[in-house]
Amino acid sequence: MMSGRTFGAKLAAGFGLTLALTLIMTATSGFALRYVLVTKDKVIRIASTSLVETQALNAMMERRIADYRSYLLAGTPEVLTTVNQDRANFLQQVTRVRAALQNADAIRLLDVVITTEAAHAKMIDDVMDQRAKLPKAIDVRDLNTDGVKQSREAVQNAINNLITRIKKIVDDTRAESSTRAMWAIICIIGIGALLVASAAGVAWRLSRDLRREVGAAVGHIQSSSAELEAAAAQQASGGRDQSSAMNEITTTISELLITSRQIADSAQRVSKVAEDTADAARNGDATIDQTRASINAIRAQVDQIVQHMLSLGEKSQQIGTVVDLVSELAEQTNILAINATIEASGAGEWGRRFAVVAEEIRKLADRTAGSAKEIRALIEDVRGAVNTTVMATEIGAKAVDTGSRQFDDATSSFRRIAQLVATTSDATREIELSTKQQTTAVEQVNSAASDTARASRETEASAVQTKQTAAHLSTLSGDLLDLVGTGRH
């Protein structure tokens, strides 16, 4: 059925079959798991509702009997109310148990519980009526007759029978759930085994087809690669002989070319050095001219600084004169303030305010005199600094003059060097041109020989590469045959 299809189609068909079986197994597993979960929930529901509610019914009966006995001993209305409430709670619990039960036998046993409970309730109601008519402090043991005891035991036996029946229902349901789970596991294992067998069959079929088809193709490849390897070996042998002859020719021309290039390089370096020297000389001449202009500018600035320093000295002298005047005024103000204070002290009560003002004026005059002294000291410092700066500036101006004369001498030397370098540069340029012409001719011959040698080497390399490729292709085809399991031819 699959013999006329391509290998890709066969692989897709096998994958589709495996996928379909996998989906079937997944769906079956899901249904089986859901079936087990439903059974488990049924067991839990019976155990958590019917059995729990029935056991709660038994507990209520025990509490009701205890409250009944308490009433017989105490005889109080509060305990009687509790006994009545216990019976109401018991009947409500019976209703809940009936709603939880689904088995007919369990419902029948619940009806027996209701019947026996009604008989027991009638008997204890009669006893409680008799107890209500008697005093509290009496012996009530005679009231609790054998009939009450038998009815109580009948109720308890009926409840225990109901509990036993419900436990049996739970055990039966649990056993049924285990059986269903076991069958679900068996079903899943069977489908899994079928899936594994189908996958193995598909893999075997695909492997057989792959070995047959790949083996045939690899056989053709091995035949072609053997023929290609033989042709490449012959081509590589001829290319190797041609390459050896061209290598000898290329070596001789290369030596001649190296000698020519060394001569050209030497001449070019000499010319380059001469040009660099000439440029350096010209740059040095220009730099000296710029330096001379800078020195002249510095000299002009130094002269301006000297003029400014002298002007600053004159201004400081003028400030000193003003300060002397301020100091003299401060002294006179101080004397006037002292006289005003003396006159104010003789004026009595009316002169006190004036004396205070005169005292403040005297203090102000003292501070003014102190400030004038400080200003005078600062002016003296400024004068000293101005004189020092003027002297240093004059010394710098003399140094600038000396440097200017030395730069003039250096300028003359640089100009002579530039003339000599220009003569050397012309001679080296002529040598360089002649050597370049010789090098160009040798390079053309070397280029032709190199192209021929390169073509020979490329032919040899191509033949060797073709031979290696053919051998590698043959090896790969054998490996492929080993991989698919058909063996080497």
Tell me, yes or no, whether 255 and 130 share the same domain: no
Instruction: Give the separation between CA 360 and CA 339, rounded to whole angstroms.
Output: 13
Within-domain flag for 460: no
Domain housing 168: 7-225
Within-domain flag for 472: no
pLDDT classification of 111: cutoffs 50, 70, 90: very high
For helices 104-133 and 146-346, angle between their N-to-C axes, nearest 10 degrees: 80
Question: How many independent structural domains does the chain possess?
Answer: 2
Q: What is the pLDDT of residues 401-429, one digit of tens each?
A: 787 777 677 677 767 766 776 776 676 67
Tokens of 308: 């400014």
Within-domain flag for 14: yes
Distances, alpha carbon 227 to alpha carbons 111, 220, 274, 409, 469, in Å:
103, 11, 67, 88, 12
At residue 116, does pLDDT exceed 90? yes
pLDDT classification of 364: cutoffs 50, 70, 90: confident
Say if residues 356 and 402 touch (Cβ distance below 8 Å): no
Here the CATH number for the domain that contains residue 116 is 1.20.120.1730
Instruction: Give the separation between CA 263 and CA 443, rounded to whole angstroms.
Output: 14
Say if residues 36 and 176 touch (Cβ distance below 8 Å): no
Which residues, 6 or more positions from 366, have their beta carbon under 8 angstroms from its beta carbon? 330, 334
Instruction: Give the separation between CA 221 and CA 317, rounded to whole angstroms.
Output: 116
Query: For position 38, what pLDDT does the model report?
Result: 67
Say if residues 195 and 461 touch (Cβ distance below 8 Å): no
Q: How far is CA 121 from the centre of its chain?
A: 79
Instruction: Give the separation between CA 197 and CA 191, rounded to whole angstroms.
Output: 10
DSSP assignment string, 52-74: HHHHHHHHHHHHHHHHHHHHHHH
Tell me, yes or no, whether 282 and 191 share the same domain: no
At residue 2, does pLDDT exceed 70? no
Q: What is the pLDDT of residues 475-489, one digit of tens each?
A: 877 776 676 565 555
pLDDT classification of 341: cutoffs 50, 70, 90: confident
Tokens of 458: 């490329």
Q: What is the pLDDT of residues 268-318, one digit of tens each?
A: 776 777 678 777 767 766 776 777 787 778 778 768 877 887 787 788 778
DSSP assignment string, 271-337: HHHHHHHHHHHHHHHHHHHHHHHHHHHHHHHHHHHHHHHHHHHHHHHHHHHHHHHHHHHHHHHHHHH
Tell me, yes or no, whether 304 and 381 share the same domain: yes
Q: What global pTM score does this model have?
A: 0.37
Within-domain flag for 258: yes
Here the CATH number for the domain that contains residue 413 is 1.10.287
Within-domain flag for 296: yes
Within-domain flag for 146: yes
Say if residues 428 and 267 touch (Cβ distance below 8 Å): yes
Tell me, yes or no, whether 218 and 279 share the same domain: no
